[in-house]
Structure 1
């Protein structure tokens, strides 16, 4: 992530989108406001770049985690949840900014929402396969997907890297929670 985006992400995390000024970002980076505008059209453009940087590797990692599990939906879900939980703990500050996308203009918001949707579709496809195979007990895969992703996204709001849990410990706990919520055997997904 560029120096601009790194400083901007800290400012957005500390003050939110509306509480952060372009002048504050420029001051943190050590450049003038016009120099900042050379790289990004406006504050919204900076937020979009931060959000895209935060989510850029989430889908490829999730896809790799699912592929690594072979044809077993329980292992696929365990791997996918682990990859998401690790993402939102290791990058908690960035992951917490996801909710700021609500401040984007409608056209820009749609583009970012598409990136988020691809991650949602990956999880839903695993849940649907597990339901079809009878290893998940779910009546509405789309609703289950939203519930699990909401629970996972919430980690970034409370996780503290100086706290008692490591990212791996959080991931392990959330794998168990998610598999339990789906009515799946929890040990099989982690062995």
Structure 2
């Protein structure tokens, strides 16, 4: 994993703060391998070696490669949802303030947890049907946060988009896409990237 992901933005303890990735060794090893080689290209033996475990030792904690993927992607979504909820709890009461908070949270997550976000997004295809359904339910919960805020903004007159659900999907897609291209050594700082993409998001919902 690229250790440059272990960055800090904002005050320690807040949803803006990103310290070192905290995962059990087998999941951290699986994340490294899946990000580099993909789920199908990774063997359970490779994950065990990266984790410093024997294959039987790994199976003691995770009975299959599928179990590793499910545990990893669930951890990713739980962190994302937790940060979004905390961002909303600290935001002001207006739809505009709540929109800015959840979009900023999504942007920062996909900057500073880009390997996790990339694996969760691309390897959903590798999940068994029941696990995929559970993952999609978590993803949909995140999307509903955005949709409900935009709908409230339209009702209050703060947002003018005639297509709130489409705007919500466009904003979420933009935030998720950050994981594909963000680099810590890029021309703009994280705060500058957040401000620029927030402007784009506000434009998508017709913020006044």
Same fold (TM over 0.5): yes
Q: Output the aligned Cα RMSD.
A: 1.3
CA distance in 1, matches of 2:67, 2:58: 11
Aligned to 2:125: 102
Aligned to 2:90: 68
Any idea what the Cα deviations from partners look like across 1:100-142, whole Å, max 9, x if unmatched? 1121011110111111111111111101100111111222322
Aligned to 1:125: 148
Cα distance, 1:57 vs structure 2: 2.1
Q: Which runs of 4+ in 1 moved over 6 A?
A: none
Matching residue within 139, 143, 163 for 2:166: 143
Do 1:13 and 1:97's aligned partners in 2 also have CA atoms closer than 8 Å? yes
Mind listing any 5+ residue stretches in structure 1 that lack a counterpart? 186-191
Aligned to 1:26: 48
Alignment of structure 1 residues 32-181 onto 2, 5 Å: 32-99=54-121, 100-181=123-204
TM-score (norm 2): 0.84
Do 2:26 and 2:51's aligned partners in 1 also have CA atoms closer than 8 Å? yes
Instruction: Name the SS for the 2:171 alignment partner.
Output: helix
Any idea what the Cα deviations from partners look like across 1:135-154, whole Å, max 9, x if unmatched? 11222322221111111101
Cα distance, 1:65 vs structure 2: 1.8
Higher helix fraction (1 or 2): 1
Mind listing any 5+ residue stretches in structure 2 that lack a counterpart? 1-22
Do 1:148 and 1:178's aligned partners in 2 also have CA atoms closer than 8 Å? yes
TM-score (norm 1): 0.91
CA distance in 2, matches of 1:26, 1:169: 40
Aligned to 1:188: none
